[in-house]
Structure 1
Amino acid sequence: MTRSTTTIPFHDLTFVDDIPKLRDVDARLQKFLRTIRRQKQDEGHAAGKISEDDLVSSYELIMDSDRARIKRRAMRYVERLSSSTGMSHLSEENRAKLTPLRGGLPVTRVTSEHEADEIAAALHAEMPWMAPATEAVWHGLRASAREDLPGVRFTPLVLNGPPGIGKSFWARRLAHHLEVPATKIDATGEPASFALTGSQRGWGSAHAGKLVNTVLNSRHGGPLVIIDEIEKADEVQSNKGTRHTLTDALLPLLERMTAATWECPFFQVKMDMSWVNWVMTANSRQGLPEPFQSRCVVLDLPDLTTGQLRDFAMNEAARRGLPEPATDALAAIFETDALSNRRLSLRTVARMLDRAEALAKHPVLH
């Protein structure tokens, strides 16, 4: 099914195409003045104060001096509108990049608690061992529906647990079931705070972050942001010596009130990021500052059992439509001691599924 959406303003910008043309303002003011003077002339004529011979045509009701004064006022009006667009500091190229924001953006909403139940049930059926995370989201979705919010909201999540249990995969499946765009940031593989929010002048390379780019590219105001291994994010330093960390950059975005007026460092434009939802993964609570943890629900997740991995493999094989011989071969692996000396993880099982799927689709050679 296709989820319902609501369009939110998202910004307080005025785009150039929404500013009236100078000639249109000029014509409107002339028409207004002409209407007033014609009305006064008609009233004077009706009262006998103006004779028939003294009546003037509509064109003559406005003199050249009036037209000059109107033009000056129209120019000042259009100039003031142009300077209050919120984009006067941007280049033509960067103004064009913000065009997708014109008219506001849609956010996905859950229309009923029953719909929230269906989303949670589908997610739980795929990954039952992630029940604590699914339950946290479920409560948020039900509250969003109950309060008739424009979009879906749930408390930012930190999924803390061993590697390979499917934390990131669960987040991607959540985005799938919510039907919202998702973007993923690896906190260890790049300057994470820059990757998320972007950077402004004073840094080696100014650019927009993945958060804003996801919003612009998807034309959606409520994406799901997935941040992997957030506890390992390093701090970065600007050319001027200013230090920033990913968790510092996240603090205003994780609070709904401050996120509603968050300012993009690159575009220097305020945007409503309060409908963005967050799922972050970690292998340890160490390295997570208290102010950051206080804004999230931190869930400690256990390792997977072999039985849970087997159930996932069978369900995923069915979802992918693997033939019965391939499914039987996968099941046999879990029933033997072939992997007894190796630590099984969701990544291992995913590779097994990918291999089985590739072999199943491989043409038969004669």
Structure 2
Amino acid sequence: MPRIPITEPIFPDAALSESAIKDRLSHHALRLKARKTGLIIPDYLAAEDELDHLQLHIALSRDMRQRIARRAACIAARVDRRSPLSRLKREDRERFEALRNGVDLVALPSEHRADEIAAELHAEFPWMGQATEAIWHGLRRSVQSGEAGLRLPPMLLDGPPGIGKSRWARRLAGLIGVPDLIFEATTENASFGLVGSQRGWGNAVPGRLVNLILTRLVANPVVVVDEVEKAGEARSHQGRTFSLTDALLPLLEPLSARRWSCPYFEVAFDMGWVIWVLTCNDGRRLPEPLLSRCPPIRLESPSRDNLVVFAQREGTRRRLSDASIDAVCTAISWAALQGHRPDLRAVVRMLDRAEGLERKPPLQ
């Protein structure tokens, strides 16, 4: 798995740290003193061995050591001030150190693996065939492109509530082998929760997107924005608005995403690898700029047979008894005969209920 830099060059060179500068200045002072005293330094010694050899025969005065320490601290401070990290608090800088050596970039080994992922998704979610077909072609194109990692265009899944759009996206992340993030636009409808807020605000924090990168150290996670059409906006006392859909636009545009500026850390991140899956129940309520970046994929509700097959597969995965699985399937069929079509959420709740009953301790 390759590692790539996820931010602009912001980390000071390790060779310019205070301790490294102090060592080099001390080495230079020892060499000068050795030359004055006539000490012979063998040519075959490496730099580290040479330093040990000098320290064994020569000692610097206390005044010289203090001068070297002050000079090293001064140079290191100047180098540090040039880094954007100098604006951050100590705890934020410590978190950023995790990114010094880059982050992992997940890739698919072959087009055959893309076919396997698509087949698995279709077997579990046959009613979401259009979304699965789109992701199948995207996976194959990414492998064919020869890029270092998996890159997919953003998707917008438009369909009735409760058909498993978010569940499909999480399953996609699991099959690819990347972390996932579910962002509920109904409860976190402003942009702050996802992208963060600028430092200087009383409650300024980094967004969940950057936190995910800092925590999991993967460049291409799957980020699901659920029910994006219900996102609202926050308005400051100065009249500025902070809309979730507006904040998404630069992240969904490939060129701007590769140098996306985090409002909290004020550092440019390469978010061009993030796999975006947006879901909505009514795409007509979304602004045109968002729709132009994510053409909606219209999905339909699962049929009764789809729900029965899902219940059988999920029940088997949970190791439920045959009696429990049959009871759930019977409930689905009975509801359909009564003119009611349960959605996927209702089926999952029935499976949860059956699992809870089976795991319940026996009464004495």
Q: TM-score range by the shorter chain?
A: 0.7 to 0.9
Residue 208 of structure 1: SS of its match in structure 2? coil
**How many angstroms does 1:161 deviate by?**
0.7
Query: What letter matches 2:115 in structure 1?
Result: D
Superposed CA offset, 1:77-124 (max 9, x none)? 433421222201111122122232121111211121111111111111
- Higher mean alpha-carbon deviation, 68-77 vs 20-29, is at 68-77
Contact residue 132 and residue 299 of structure 1 kept, 8 A: yes
**How many angstroms does 1:335 deviate by?**
3.7
**How many angstroms does 1:142 deviate by?**
1.2
Superposed CA offset, 1:308-337 (max 9, x none)? 111111121122221111122223223435
Given the two structures, how large is their TM-score scaled by the length of structure 2? 0.84
Query: What letter matches 2:269 in structure 1?
Result: M
The equivalent position to 1:20 in structure 2, one of 9, 16, 25, is 16
Query: Per the alignment, do residues 335 and 76 of structure 1 end up closer, same or farther by CA in structure 2, a change over 3 Å counting?
Result: closer
Aligned twin of 2:61 = none
Residue 84 of structure 2: SS of its match in structure 1? coil
Contact residue 158 and residue 299 of structure 1 kept, 8 A: yes
Which structure 2 residues correspond to residues 166-181 of structure 1 after superposition, within 5 A?
A: 166-181=164-179
Which structure 2 residues correspond to residues 328-343 of structure 1 after superposition, within 5 A?
A: 328-336=326-334, 340-343=338-341
**How many angstroms does 1:69 deviate by?**
11
Structure whose CA Rg is larger: 1
**How many angstroms does 1:201 deviate by?**
3.8
Superposed CA offset, 1:4-34 (max 9, x none)? x321111134446835344533553675699
The equivalent position to 2:308 in structure 1, one of 310, 319, 323, is 310
Query: Per the alignment, do residues 327 and 265 of structure 1 end up closer, same or farther by CA in structure 2, a change over 3 Å counting?
Result: same
Matched, 1:235 2:233: yes
Aligned twin of 2:94 = 96
Contact residue 236 and residue 243 of structure 1 kept, 8 A: yes
**Alpha-carbon separation, structure 2, partners of 1:129 and 1:321:** 24
**Alpha-carbon separation, structure 1, partners of 2:283 and 2:289:** 13
Aligned twin of 1:185 = 183
Residue 87 of structure 1: SS of its match in structure 2? helix
Aligned residues: 345
Matched, 1:110 2:142: no
Runs of 4+ in 1 over 6 A off after TM superposition: 32-39, 66-73
- Higher mean alpha-carbon deviation, 298-307 vs 69-78, is at 69-78
Aligned twin of 1:221 = 219
| Structure 1 unaligned regions, length at least 5 | 40-57, 61-65
Superposed CA offset, 1:248-279 (max 9, x none)? 10111112221111111111111111111111
**Alpha-carbon separation, structure 2, partners of 1:95 and 1:22:** 17
Query: What letter matches 1:321 in structure 2?
Result: R
Aligned twin of 2:156 = 158
**Alpha-carbon separation, structure 2, partners of 1:107 and 1:169:** 23
Aligned twin of 1:7 = 3
The equivalent position to 2:139 in structure 1, one of 138, 141, 146, is 141
Aligned twin of 1:275 = 273
Query: What letter matches 1:300 in structure 2?
Result: R
Contact residue 221 and residue 276 of structure 1 kept, 8 A: yes
**How many angstroms does 1:343 deviate by?**
3.4
| Structure 2 unaligned regions, length at least 5 | 36-53, 59-63
Query: What letter matches 2:2 in structure 1?
Result: T
Query: What letter matches 1:93 in structure 2?
Result: E
Aligned-pair identity (%): 45
**How many angstroms does 1:219 deviate by?**
2.1
Superposed CA offset, 1:16-68 (max 9, x none)? 683534453355367569989999xxxxxxxxxxxxxxxxxx999xxxxx999
The equivalent position to 2:260 in structure 1, one of 256, 259, 262, is 262
- Higher mean alpha-carbon deviation, 12-21 vs 296-305, is at 12-21
Query: Per the alignment, do residues 101 and 345 of structure 1 end up closer, same or farther by CA in structure 2, a change over 3 Å counting?
Result: same
**Alpha-carbon separation, structure 1, partners of 2:329 and 2:357:** 16
**Alpha-carbon separation, structure 2, partners of 1:113 and 1:301:** 26
Aligned twin of 1:290 = 288
Residue 199 of structure 1: SS of its match in structure 2? coil
Contact residue 333 and residue 339 of structure 1 kept, 8 A: no
Aligned twin of 1:353 = 351
Contact residue 204 and residue 238 of structure 1 kept, 8 A: no
Query: What letter matches 1:156 in structure 2?
Result: P
Aligned twin of 1:253 = 251
**Alpha-carbon separation, structure 1, partners of 2:70 and 2:323:** 82
Contact residue 252 and residue 293 of structure 2 kept, 8 A: yes
Given the two structures, how large is their TM-score scaled by the length of structure 1? 0.83
**Alpha-carbon separation, structure 1, partners of 2:18 and 2:228:** 52
